[in-house]
A and B are shown apart, each in its own frame.
Chain A
Amino acid sequence: MKAATRIGLKTGLYLVLSVGAVLSLFPFYWMFIMSTQPNHVFNQVPPALLPGKELISNFMNVLVNIDFFQAMLNSLIVSLSITVGVLFFCSLAGFAFAKLHFPGKRFLFFFILMTMMIPPQLGLIPQYYIMTQLGWINELKAVIVPGLIHAFGIFWMRQYIKETIPDEMIEAAKIDGCSNFRIYWNIVVPSTLPAFATLGIIAFMGAWNDFLWPLTVLKDPSAQTIQVAIRTLYDAYVKDYGMIVSGTFWATVPLIVVFLAFNKLFISSLTEGSVKS
C-alpha cells in the first residue's frame, strides 16, 4: 500500500469510529448538561451545551417528587437478592447437570433450554393474579422470588463446570467421603469463580434494568424500583425537564461508575456465549 492511501484509509477509519463514539456518548453528556439547567432552558434555541447552575436544586426537586433513595435502595435489594439467588441455584443445578448422573437428565436439561423460548409477556396476567392471591403486590419479594433462577444461568454454569472440572477430581473427592453438596461447595464453587462473575453481572444488570414486571406488581411509591420511579417522574402532569433529567442522570451514574470500573469484565461477560455458540 502506498503511504498516501494508507494515511487516507487510517484517517477515514478514525473518522468513522470517532463519529460513532461521539454519537454514542453525546446523550450522556447532554443528560449531564440538562440535569444542571433550569426548566426554561428547554425552550431555548440554540440548546445549552455547557453546564448550568441548577445541579443541586434540580436534584432537590427530584427528592420532592419521588423517594429517590428509597427507590435506589429497593433496586439494590432486588438486584442483589436476585444475583445471589441466581448464582447459587443456577450453579447448583449446573453442577448437577454437568457432573451427577440421574435418570431423565438429558430430557430435563432440554426442557429447561426450551423454556428460554417462551416470551415473558405470555404469563404476565396470571403471574399478576398469583401475586394478588399471595398478597405480594407492592412487596419486593414479588419481583425477587420469580427471578431467583433462570434457564440461561443453568445452561451457562453447566457448560463451564463441564469444561473446567475434571471428572477425576469429583471421583477422588467422593472416595474421600465428600457429600455432593460439599463437592459443590468446596471444589466446584472455588474453581468456577470466573463463570460466577460473568453470570453475576448478567443477573445484576438484568434485574436492575428490568421494567415491565416491577411496573406491574410494585404500584406503591415506597416499594418502587428506581426504573419505575423515574417513569413516574417523567409522567408527571407538569413537566419540569431539569428535574426529570436530573433523576434519570443520578439513577444512571452508579451503573456507569460500576461499568467503567469493571468494563473489561462487563464487555466479555455480555458478549461471551454469543460468539462461541
Chain B
Amino acid sequence: MTLEKKRPSPPLGVKGRWWTEKRKNAFSGYLFILPFFLLFAVFGLFPILFSFQLAFFKWDGLNEKVFVGWENFQLILNDALFWKSLYNTFLIGIMGTLPQLIVALVLASALNSRMVRYRHLFRVAYFLPFVTSIVAVSVIFSIIFSSNPAGLANVLLSWVGISPIHWDTSEWGVKIAISVMVFWRWVGYNTIIYLAGLQSIPRELYEAAKIDGASVLQQWRHITLPMLKPVVIFTVFLSTIGSLQLFTEPLVFMGRNLREEGMTVVLYLYRDAFNQFAFGTASATAVVLFIIIAAFSVLNVLLANRIGKGGGL
C-alpha cells in the first residue's frame, strides 16, 4: 500500500455522490446484523410478548382464546404444587450448587499447588462430566439411584448400615439424587474456572507477601480471596440462573410419573403446557419465572458491585 494510493480517500462513491463511504458502511453494518434481529423478532421477541399476553388468557392451543384477566396467576399462586415446585427448585439448587462451589474451590486450590504434577490429566478428568449431555448424566444417575436394593447408591449405603432408600418416591431421596447429578456434572467445570482464576493471580504478589512475613492463611485471606472474587461471583451467578431453570434432570429421573417430590418450576410449566394444554396458566408460570430470574440477576449485579467496591467480603 503506497501513500499515493492512500491520499484520495473521500471520493470513493463510485455510483455517484449519494452512495458515500459513510452510507455504504451503514448499509453493510445494518445488513450484517440483520439476521440476528430477524430471527430474534420471530423466535424471541414475538414469543415473549405473546407469552405475556397469553398469561391473561385461557387457551388450549386449538379453540378461541378467552380473556380471563389475572385468573391464571391466581390459579397458579393458589396451587400448592406451584409453591412446592418453587420450593423444590430452590432447595435442589442450593443442595446441588453450594457444596459444589466449595468442593471446586478446594480442588482448584490443590490443583494450583506447585507440588502437583500431571495437572493436565486431572483437568481432563474433572472436565469430562461437563462435556457429557445432561440426558446421559440423568440416565446413568437414575440407575445409580435406583430404588432397588441392588442399586449402586443403596449398595454403598448398606455398607455403612443404612437400609435401602426409595430414591424415586421419598421426599428427600428425589432431591438428593437430582442434586448429586447437578453436583457431578458441574463441579469439574467450576474447578477449571477457579483454577484459571487462581493462575491469573501474579506470583509476585505471594512472593512479596512472603517477604513481609505473611502466613499461608493470611496470603489466602488477603490475596487469593480478593483476587478470585470476580470469578466466584461469575460462578455463583451462573449457578443461580442455571438452578432456576432446572428441567432435564428431574424429567429424566422421574420418568413418566412426574411426582411432586422432584417437580421444578420449569417442569411444572412444561407439564401444564404440553401434557394438559393449559397454555394460559403455563404462560403465567413462565412470566413468574421470568420475574424471579430477573430479580435474581439484579440482586447478583448489585451484590457483585457492592462486593467489588467494598473490598472485603
Which of A24, A175, A234 has a CB less than 8 Å from the CB of B6? A175
User: If A97-B33, A180-B24 touch, does A175 touch B196 (CB 8 Å cutoff)?
Assistant: no
Residue A166 lies at the interface, judged by CB distance under 8 Å to chain B: no
User: Once the chains are docked, how many angstroms separate the CA of A96 from the CA of B27?
Assistant: 10
What separation, in Å, do the CA atoms of A31 and B135 have in the docked complex?
A: 13
A31 to B113, CA, bound (A): 32
Interface majority SS on A: helix, strand, loop or mixed? helix
The residue on B at minimum CB distance from A112 is B36
Report if A263 contacts B (CB, 8 A): yes
Interface residue? B255 (CB, 8 A): yes
The 8 Å CB contact of B47, one of A17, A127, A184, A259, is A127
Task: Please state if A125 and B286 are interface contacts (CB–CB under 8 Å).
Answer: yes
Q: Is B42 in contact with A20, judged by CB distance below 8 angstroms? A: no
Q: Binary interface profile of A, 100-133, with partner B (CB < 8 Å = 1, else 0)?
A: 1111010010001001011111111111111010
Bits for A71-97, please: 1 = Cβ < 8 Å to B, else 0: 000000000000000000100110111
Does B276 sit at the interface, judged by CB under 8 A? no
Q: B146-176: contact bitstring with A at CB < 8 Å (1 yes, 0 no)? A: 1011101001001000000000000000000
Complex partner residue of A122 from B9, B25, B290, CB under 8 angstroms? B290
A24, A43, A46, A205 pick with most chain B CB within 10 angstroms: A24
Decide yes or no whether B61 CB sits under 8 A from chain A. yes
Chain B 36-50 interface residues, beta-carbon cutoff 8 Å to A: 36-37, 39-40, 42-44, 46-48, 50
| Interface check B208, CB cutoff 8 A | no
Instruction: Judge whether B200 and A275 touch: CB under 8 Å.
Output: yes
Contact status A13-B54, CB under 8 Å: no
Q: A13-B113, A148-B39, A234-B252 are in contact. Are A96 and B48 (CB under 8 A)?
A: no
Closest Cβ of chain B: how far from A134's Cβ, in Å?
10
Q: Which of B32, B121, B127 contacts A95 (CB 8 A)?
A: B32
Smallest CB–CB gap between B270 and chain A, Å? 8
| Contact, CB under 8 Å: A119 / B293 | yes
CB-defined contacts of B155 to chain A, threshold 8 Å: 45-47
Chain A contacts for B28, CB-based, 8 A: 96, 100, 179-181
Contact, CB under 8 Å: A245 / B140: yes
Which residues does chain A contribute within 8 Å of B36, judged by CB atoms? 89, 93, 112, 149, 151, 154
CB distance from A266 to the nearest CB of B (A): 7
Judge whether A123 and B25 touch: CB under 8 Å.
no
Indicate if B225 sits at the interface (CB-CB under 8 A). no
Name the residue on B nearest A260 (C-beta).
B124
Residue numbers in A under 8 Å from B44 (CB-CB): 115, 118, 123
Name the B residues within 8 Å of A20 (CB-CB). 103, 107, 122, 125-126, 191
Complex CA–CA separation, A20 to B269 (angstroms): 36
Contact at A234–B33, with CB atoms within 8 Å? no
At the interface with chain B, which of A60-68, A191-199, A209-217? Answer: A209-217
Q: Of B37, B136, B230, B256, which is within 8 A of A230 by CB?
A: B136
| Partner among B158, B269, B297 whose Cβ is within 8 Å of the Cβ of A124 | B269
CB 8 Å contact bits of B272-290 with A (1 = contact, 0 = none):
0110000100110011011
Known: A149-B35, A174-B12, A231-B135. A274 touches B115 (CB 8 A): no
Q: How far is the CA of A241 from the CA of B125 in the complex (A)?
A: 26
Q: Find the A residue at minimum CB distance from B103.
A: A20
* B51 interface residue per 8 A CB criterion: yes
Contact B126 A27 (CB under 8 A): no
Taking a contact as CB atoms under 8 Å apart, the answer to whether B46 and A100 are in contact is no
| Residue count of chain A within 8 Å CB distance of chain B | 95
CA distance A103 to B30 in the complex (A): 9
Question: When chains A and B are docked, how far (Å) is the Cα of A233 from the Cα of B192?
Answer: 33
- B125: which of A21, A103, A112, A174 is its contact (CB, 8 Å)? A21
Give the distance in Å from the alpha carbon of A115 to the alpha carbon of B270 in the complex.
22
A121 to nearest B CB, angstroms?
5
Decide: B136 and A42 in contact? CB cutoff 8 A.
no
Q: List 7 A-B contacts (CB under 8 A).
A: A31-B140, A42-B146, A47-B150, A102-B30, A123-B50, A123-B286, A266-B131
List 19 additional A-B contacts (Cβ < 8 Å) besides A20-B122, A149-B39, A227-B133.
Answer: A9-B115, A13-B115, A20-B107, A20-B126, A21-B126, A24-B184, A44-B150, A45-B149, A93-B32, A101-B25, A123-B286, A125-B286, A128-B274, A230-B139, A235-B256, A259-B131, A260-B124, A274-B231, A274-B238
The 6 closest A-B pairs by CB, nearest first: A123-B47, A126-B47, A102-B29, A180-B28, A126-B50, A96-B32
Q: Residues of B with Cβ closer than 8 Å to A?
A: 1, 5-6, 9, 12, 21-22, 24-26, 28-30, 32-33, 35-37, 39-40, 42-44, 46-48, 50-51, 54, 61, 103, 106-107, 110-111, 113, 115-116, 121-137, 139-144, 146, 148-150, 152, 155, 158, 184, 187-189, 191-193, 196-197, 200, 230-231, 234-235, 238, 241, 244-245, 247-248, 251-252, 255-256, 266, 269-270, 273-274, 279, 282-283, 286-287, 289-290, 293-294, 297
